[in-house]
A = this chain, B = another copy of it.
Amino acid sequence: MTTMTALHPTSPADPPQLGLRERKKIKTREAIRTATYELIEEQGYDATTIEQIADRAEVSPSTVFRYFPTKEDIVLTDEYGPLLEEFRDRPADEPWQDSLRHITRRAIGLGLGEEPEITRLRCRLIAEVPAVRSRLMESMSAAGPLLAGAIAARTGRDPESLEVRVFTMSLIGGLMEIFPYWARTGFRDDPADLVDRALAVYDRGPGAENP
């Protein structure tokens, strides 16, 4: 025993380099999230209050706000940030459509990987709750300049130009519609196909032929 503690001064066993504090933080974060999802499935989004969430997650309301800036952020994923840097690091000679398709698919796989039901609930909320949709739009818009920079670099234009900005926002607005569409059609389609079809619109316009 003393040997072990001597060899591993701080980390006990499985989780390699994570203190008790960090592990607890992750646990409460998850607890808040699952409590929120449960309550929303039970009574809907608007009916669930922060106080209820805090009660079920066994934390105080203050703690909920310490972990998530707004109620909408609890249900939305925040893993999309790193993905955009991935977009920027793609080969410069690759057409932007391919880069976009690549990371969009990764984003979907990422969201779909963990818990399909949660992803579906999220989509439903994006489609039905204006506040959630607005918040998603806002965070995607925040990533706008980065996207604009990447597109500008590919097309050799000024990222501040009206054309690039308009195109970037049109991408964000258009691709966001995939979520509500997927939810509205009962999650029957393959999300990757939807991404392809959506991106095709930007190449061929809204009157594109069916496959």
Contacts and interface: CB of A to CB of B under 8 A. Distances in A.
Contacts of A170: 170-171, 173-174, 201-202
SS class of chain A's interface: helix, strand, loop or mixed? Answer: helix
A163 interface: yes
Given A170-B170, A174-B167, A176-B169, A155 B201 contact: no
Interface in A155-211: 155-157, 162-178, 180-181, 194, 197-198, 200-202, 205-208
Contacts of A176: 169, 173
Given A173-B174, A176-B169, A206-B151, A201 B134 contact: no
Nearest to A140: B173
A138 interface: yes
A165 B177 contact: yes
Given A163-B201, A170-B171, A170-B202, 17 more contacts: A130-B138, A134-B137, A155-B206, A156-B207, A157-B207, A162-B177, A162-B181, A163-B206, A165-B180, A166-B181, A166-B197, A166-B198, A168-B177, A169-B176, A170-B174, A170-B201, A202-B205
15 contacts: A134-B134, A151-B206, A157-B207, A163-B201, A163-B206, A166-B177, A166-B178, A166-B197, A166-B201, A167-B205, A168-B206, A169-B177, A170-B201, A172-B173, A173-B174
